[in-house]
Structure 1
Amino acid sequence: MEKQQIIELIDANVNQVQTLIHERVQIWQTYVLFSGLWWFGVFLSIFPWILWIFLRDKHSTDRILYVGYFVIVISLVLDILGDQLGFWHYRFNVIPVLPTYFPWDITLMPVSVMFLIQIKPKTNLYLKAIFFALLTSYVAEPFITWLKIYEPQIWKFSYSVPIQFIIYLLAHYSSRRNKFKELT
Structure 2
Amino acid sequence: MTTNEKYREINHYIYESLHDIHSLKVEAWLEHVVFTIEWWFGVSLSIIPWIVWFLFHNKKSRHRMLFVAFFITILASFLDTIGTQFGLWIYYYEVLPWLPAYLPWDWALVPVVIIGLLEFKPEYSPFKKAFLFAALSSFVGEPFFEFIGLYEPIHWRSFYSFPIYIVIFLFCYWLSKRSFFPCMDLDRALLERSFLIQ
Q: Which category describes the TM-score, using the shorter chain as reference length?
A: over 0.9
Matching of residues 91-170 of structure 1 within 5 Å: 91-170=92-171
**Deviation at residue 178 of structure 1 after TM alignment:** 1.2
3-state DSSP of counterpart to 1:126: helix
State the one-letter code of the partner of 2:118: I
State the one-letter code of the partner of 2:8: I
State the one-letter code of the partner of 1:172: Y
Gaps of 5+ in 1: none
Give the total of aligned pairs.
184
Q: Which residue of 1 aligns with 2:12?
A: 11
Q: Deviations over 1:62-96 (max 9, x none)?
A: 11111111111110111111111111111100000
**Deviation at residue 18 of structure 1 after TM alignment:** 0.7
CA distance in 2, matches of 1:25, 1:73: 23
State the one-letter code of the partner of 2:147: W
CA distance in 1, matches of 2:145, 2:162: 16
Q: Which residue of 2 aligns with 1:44?
A: 45
**Deviation at residue 147 of structure 1 after TM alignment:** 1.1
3-state DSSP of counterpart to 2:160: helix
**Deviation at residue 35 of structure 1 after TM alignment:** 0.4
TM-score by length of 1: 0.97
Q: Deviations over 1:115-144 (max 9, x none)?
A: 000000000110000000000000000000
TM-score by length of 2: 0.90
State the one-letter code of the partner of 1:111: V
3-state DSSP of counterpart to 1:97: coil
Gaps of 5+ in 2: 191-198
**Deviation at residue 179 of structure 1 after TM alignment:** 3.0
CA distance in 2, matches of 1:82, 1:129: 22
3-state DSSP of counterpart to 2:97: coil
Name the % identity: 36
Q: Deviations over 1:152-178 (max 9, x none)?
A: 110000000000000000000111111
State the one-letter code of the partner of 1:58: K
State the one-letter code of the partner of 1:29: L
CA distance in 2, matches of 1:84, 1:129: 27
CA distance in 1, matches of 2:79, 2:3: 34
3-state DSSP of counterpart to 1:151: strand
CA distance in 1, matches of 2:11, 2:29: 27
CA distance in 2, matches of 1:174, 1:156: 28
3-state DSSP of counterpart to 2:155: coil
Q: Deviations over 1:10-36 (max 9, x none)?
A: 111111111110000000000000001
Choose between structure 1 and 2 for higher RCO, CA contacts under 8 A separated by at least 6 residues.
1
CA distance in 2, matches of 1:123, 1:58: 20
Q: Which residue of 1 aligns with 2:57?
A: 56
**Runs of 4+ deviating beyond 6 Å:** none
Higher-Rg structure is 2
3-state DSSP of counterpart to 2:90: strand
3-state DSSP of counterpart to 1:89: strand
**Deviation at residue 2 of structure 1 after TM alignment:** 2.2
